[in-house]
Amino acid sequence: MDKIQLTGIRCYGYTGFLPEEQVLGQWFEVDLTISLDLVAAGESDCIEHTLDYRDAIARVKEIVKTQKYALIEKLATAIAKTILELDKVEQVRVQLSKPAAPIPDFGGRITIDITRSNVMQS
């Protein structure tokens, strides 16, 4: 399966379990791996035969900036659902990170990594 990777989508949002996270907000980083058939695009050189990734990036930013959830798992799922709505997308992997989670004495990042598919499983 062919893939398009979009990495380092960074935007400010208001998802978090703590009340202040939904008021003050914080930075989020999103990486997408989008699976789709790129054969026609490779042959034709026409954008109509591929995914216009500007649309995918805009959708991610819109969700992160406007939606408020308690859990980043929910935010990652919302991102996956909107990307799967795009034409030609068969599967999407969403890696959603909080680079500065408000946890005392923790300087790392928290990342949720989910994969969702439009393909019917039998």
CA distance 79 to 97: 13
Q: Are 91 and 120 in contact (CB under 8 A)?
A: no
Task: Note if 98 is an active site residue.
Answer: yes
Residue that has been written with the tokens 């034409």 in this structure: 87
**Across the chain, how many H-helices and E-strands are there?**
4, 4
Determine the Cα–Cα distance for residues 65 and 11; give it in Å rounded to an integer.
7
- Read off the DSSP letter of residue 74: H
**CA 47 from centre of chain:** 21
User: Is 90:35 a contact under the CB 8 Å cutoff?
Assistant: yes
Known catalytic residues are 98
